[in-house]
Amino acid sequence: MTRDRYDVDLSIINDRERSAEIQFSAQEHIQDENQQTVANHRMPMAPTQIAKHNALSWRTDPVSSFSDWRIVIYSISKEASVTQTNFFCHSNVLAWGPRKGNFFVELFEKQRRKSDILVSKIKMNEEEAKMIPIVLDFMYCGSTLPLSADRLHILYGLAETLDIPKLKEAMQLFVQNAMDLNQLVDFLTFVSDRNIGATIQRLVLLAESRLFGFLVENVERGSLVPPQILYRILQKRKQCIGVLKKRNPIKYTRRWENERSKVIGRIIGECCVQAVNTNRPSPSLTLRMLETITNRAILPAIDGETALKILQVEGVLVQMSKCGSEHAQHESRMNDTNLLQLEKRCILMLVPEWRRMLRDNRPSIAVAMKTFTPTALAELLLSVSEMYEIGTSAPEPISTAYLENSAFQIGHSEADVLEEMVAEESFIDRF
C-alpha cells in the first residue's frame, strides 16, 4: 500500500502542546502562532437528528461526546499556502470496527508510545483535505457518499491511502452498479485529462468495463463516448480476450468473437462519425488511432454499415491532415500503407452488401461517399462493377503484417492491476 502522498510528522507536535490540555475554541476560525488559518471543525448536527439517531459523530460537541483524539490536517494549496483544520474524533471509531482505517490503527499505536497528548498532524493537498469530512462521515455512520466525476478519484485515492477497505468497496460497488452512461463518461474523461496515480487504476478499470457493457447493449450511444475513452477500453479488452478463451473455450469461440466484433464495429462507427461530424472535430481522433482500433487484432469482423462509416471517417481525417500541421501531414504519409490495407478490408466487407445497402439507405450512402479518399472511391467502384459482371466472391484474406506497427501499449502499473482483475469473473465477463 502506498502512503507517500501523506506526510505524517510527529515532530511538529511542539512542547506547548505536549504539556497542555487540548483546548476547544468556540471560534470557528482562529490564527495559530505561525499565522496559519485554523478551522476547528465542530459543526454539530441538528438536535432533531441527534435525538433521532443518537449518533456518535465527529461533528458533535467534542466535550460532551468524549472526543479523545485531535486530527490536525495541514492543507497545502497550489500557491503553497497552508491551512490548518482540527477534527475532534474518537480513536475507537477510526481505528476499530467494520469501517476502520488501517492507516489510523498504525498511526495511533505509534503515537500512544511516543506521547500522552493524543494529537495527529497530517499534511495533504487542498483537494484531499476537502474530502476529509466525507471520509469521516462514512467511518462514523456509513453515510451516503456524495460522489461526482471530479471528486470520485480523490475520494478513492484517500480510501487507498488511509486503507479503509469498506470505503473502497462502497465506491467500487457504486461504479459497478449505480453509475449511468453519462456519469461513466464524465468520470473517465475527467481522469483521462489528468495525471492520476496508480492508486485508482482499479476504479478506472471497473468504470471502463461497465461503460463497455452499456455500449454493447446500446450501440447507438457510442456517439456519446469520446474516441480516446473508447480507444483505451479496446486496448484493455484485447488483453482480456485471451483470458476469456482459456476460461471457457466452448463459449468463447471464433464465431463468438466475430459476432461480438461486429457489435464493437458499430460502436466504433458511431463514436468516430460523431467525432468528425461536429463543428469542432475531436482532436483526440487521429489516423493512427483509427488504424489501431479497426485492425484485425481488435476488430476481426465488420459489417457493411461499419465499413462505410470507417471509410467516411478515414476520408475526413485524411483531408484534415492535409490541411493541418506539417506533423499531421507527415503522419498521414507515414500511415499510407496501413490506410490502404484498411480501405481494402472495408471495401471487401462492403461490396457483398452493396445492393442491399443501396436499396435500404441510398441517401446516407451518397453522403458518406462524398468524403471517401480517391483511392477508396476508385477501389469501391471497381469492385462493385466487377461484382455486377461476375457476381460476388468471398473476400480474400488480407495481410496482417502491418498490425505489428499498431501494438497496444499501456502503463506498467495499469497492466499489473488489469492482470489482477482479469481473474475476477464479474469484471472480465463484461467484455
**pLDDT at residue 31 above 60?**
no
| Distances 117 to 14, 239, 376 between C-alpha atoms, Å | 11, 52, 77
**pLDDT at residue 338 above 90?**
no
Give bridge partners of residue 195 from the DSSP assignment.
none
**pLDDT at residue 183 above 70?**
yes
Q: What grid cell was written down for 256?
A: 463468438
**Is residue 195 included in any domain, yes or no?**
no
Neighbours of 353 (CB within 10 A): 16
Strand order across the 29-31 sheet: 7-8, 119-125, 69-76, 82-89, 37-41, 29-31
Provide the pLDDT for residue 390: 56
Band of pLDDT at residue 263, cut at 50, 70 and 90: very high
**Is residue 13 included in any domain, yes or no?**
yes
Overall size of the chain counted in residues: 431
Band of pLDDT at residue 425, cut at 50, 70 and 90: low
For 246, list phi and psi in degrees, rounded to 5. -70, -35
Q: Is the dihedral of CA 119, 125, 128, 129 positive or negative?
A: positive
**pLDDT at residue 280 above 70?**
no
CB 33 within 8 A of CB 23: no
Task: Give tens-digit pLDDT for 391-415.
Answer: 544 444 444 333 333 334 455 555 5
**pLDDT at residue 266 above 90?**
yes
Neighbours of 179 (CB within 10 A): 21
CB 219 within 8 A of CB 266: yes
Largest CA distance in the chain: 99
pTM value surpassing 0.75? no
**pLDDT at residue 51 above 70?**
no
**Is residue 67 included in any domain, yes or no?**
yes
Q: What 3-state DSSP class applies to 431?
A: coil
Distance (Å, whole) CA 239 – CA 244: 10
Give me the domain span that covers residue 63.
7-126
**Is residue 16 included in any domain, yes or no?**
yes
Query: Stretch 91-116: mean pLDDT, rounded?
Result: 83
412, burial (CB in 10 Å: exposed 0-12, middle 13-18, buried 19+): exposed
- Structural domain count of the chain: 2
Indicate whether 234 and 344 sit together in one domain: yes
- What share of the chain has pLDDT > 70, as a percent? 69
Indicate whether 115 and 228 sit together in one domain: no
Q: Mean pLDDT check: name the lowest of 113-122, 270-279, 388-397.
A: 388-397
CB 103 within 8 A of CB 162: yes
**pLDDT at residue 215 above 90?**
yes
**pLDDT at residue 300 above 70?**
yes
Provide the pLDDT for residue 18: 32
Indicate whether 243 and 385 sit together in one domain: yes
Provide the pLDDT for residue 287: 85
By DSSP bridging, strand 82-89 and strand 7-8 are unpaired
**pLDDT at residue 158 above 50?**
yes
- What share of the chain has pLDDT > 90, as a percent? 8
**Is residue 415 included in any domain, yes or no?**
yes
CB 269 within 8 A of CB 309: yes
**Is residue 202 included in any domain, yes or no?**
no
Last residue of a domain, one of 76, 108, 126: 126
By DSSP bridging, strand 119-125 and strand 69-76 are parallel
Provide the pLDDT for residue 401: 39
Last residue of a domain, one of 126, 143, 165: 126
**pLDDT at residue 420 above 80?**
no
**Is residue 319 included in any domain, yes or no?**
yes
CB within 8 Å of 347: residues ≥ 6 apart? 307, 311, 376, 379, 380, 383
**pLDDT at residue 385 above 90?**
no
Indicate whether 380 and 234 sit together in one domain: yes
Indicate whether 110 and 227 sit together in one domain: no
Indicate whether 119 and 241 sit together in one domain: no
- Average pLDDT score, the chain: 74
Indicate whether 122 and 228 sit together in one domain: no
Q: What grid cell was written down for 389?
A: 459482371
DSSP codes of every residue in 155-224: HHHHHHHTT-HHHHHHHHHHHHHT--HHHHHHHHHHHHTS---GGGHHHHHHHHHHHHHHHHH-GGGGGG
Provide the pLDDT for residue 267: 93
**Is residue 89 included in any domain, yes or no?**
yes
Q: Mean pLDDT check: name the lowest of 36-40, 174-178, 296-300, 334-338.
A: 36-40
Q: What grid cell was written down for 216?
A: 454493447
For 180, list phi and psi in degrees, rounded to 5. -90, 180
**Unique residue bearing C-alpha cell 473502497:** 168
Last residue of a domain, one of 126, 157, 183: 126
Provide the pLDDT for residue 221: 92
CB within 8 Å of 304: residues ≥ 6 apart? 349, 350, 352, 353, 354, 356, 357
Provide the pLDDT for residue 394: 43
